[in-house]
Amino acid sequence: MAELREAIEDYVLALDREFGRSPNTCRAAHGDLTRFADSVEAAGPVDTSQLTLEDFRDWLWRENEQGHAAATIARRASVARRFTAWCHSTGRGDDVARRLKSPKVGRSLPRLVSEGQMDDIFASLRDRADSDEPSALRDLAIVELLYATGMRVSELCALNLDSLTPSASLVRVIGKGNVERVIPYGQPAARAIDAWLDRGRAALAGESSGDALFLGARGGRLNSRSVYELSRQLLQLAPGQGPSGPHTFRHTAATHLLDGGADLRGVQEYLGHADLGTTQIYTHVSAERLRETYKRAHPRA
């Protein structure tokens, strides 16, 4: 016997401490399961042993009626299946959501920035950094590193000073599931990082800085929200469809690597994907770009 909300808290704690899931994954699971609890407990507290498949189906139906996207519904169904599987494995109830189906979600191609557009973005960042203003030096180093390494924004914000090996132009990243990988970066990123460390970081550093590589305006570790805002501003220089967050630079880096002849397995390791199928989306991006070029340039297209 276990009260539902108590079980939710224990499950999210297990995601963090036992399974090594990212903070974003833990927050999303907590939010989704809390919404389910709000729905199923309209008449009072519920025990996990009382849950049924119909409870979850009714919840997802209401979520759909409220206009939530198919991708959101699919994620919540996945969270529900994992939650009841965990409840069953810990003796808190049956795995009632195992037959819960997710709506089909069309896989959209990620947003891509062309090499010319990236040149424009870097030119804008360098113009600002020429002032030696600390935040401008930091922003150039951030985007250079995002594009050079294809790392996730959460990985970037978690970097410490000792994550870098400047002599070899390598950065050590802790990815999903606490899996470590080492990624090389090129001379433009190296120069931008050196300038940030030499002339920018000390101006922002304070008691709360610790050994964080990138700092916010108040001297604490830079948060992902700030990187999202920076990306939104910069991607206005590269009009296109799709999200305008820092993942665009990750997508762009992977696609440019494949366009340049990189091996798909190598790109998988570079991005830290556990499944090669996740990486294969970038081959579709490259194919789409080739098709568009063919249509524009070939006389018999």
Contact 41, 7 (CB under 8 A): no
Catalytic residue among 5, 221, 273, 289: 273
Phi, psi angle pair for 186, to nearest 5° = -95, -175
Catalytic (active site) residue 284 = no
Q: Is 273 a catalytic residue?
A: yes
Local structure of residue 180 (DSSP, 8 states): E
DSSP-based three-state secondary structure for 118: helix
Strands 180-184 and 164-165: unpaired
φ, ψ at 166 (rounded to 5°): -60, -35
Cα separations in angstroms, 203 against 27, 54, 243: 33, 58, 32
3-class DSSP state of 184:
strand
Q: Which of 92, 152, 201, 251 is catalytic?
A: 152
The CA distance from 259 to 256, in Å, is 5
Options 21, 250, 251, 256, the catalytic residue: 250
Which of 245, 235, 226 lies closest to 124, judged by CA? 235
The secondary element (H helix, E strand) that includes residue 167 is: none
Which residue, among 95, 90, 94, has the nearest Cα to 11 in the 3D structure?
90
Give every strand in the sheet of 180-184, ordered side by side.
164-165, 170-174, 180-184
- In this structure, what token pair is assigned to residue 13? 């704690």
Known catalytic residue at 176: yes
Catalytic site residue from 35, 57, 126, 176 = 176
Examine the residue annotation and report whether 30 is marked as an active-site residue of this protein.
no
Residue 294 is among the residues annotated as catalytic for this protein? no
Q: Which residue out of 82, 247, 251, 256 is catalytically annotated?
A: 247
Catalytic residue list contains 300? no
Catalytic positions, written as ranges: 152, 176, 247, 250, 273, 282
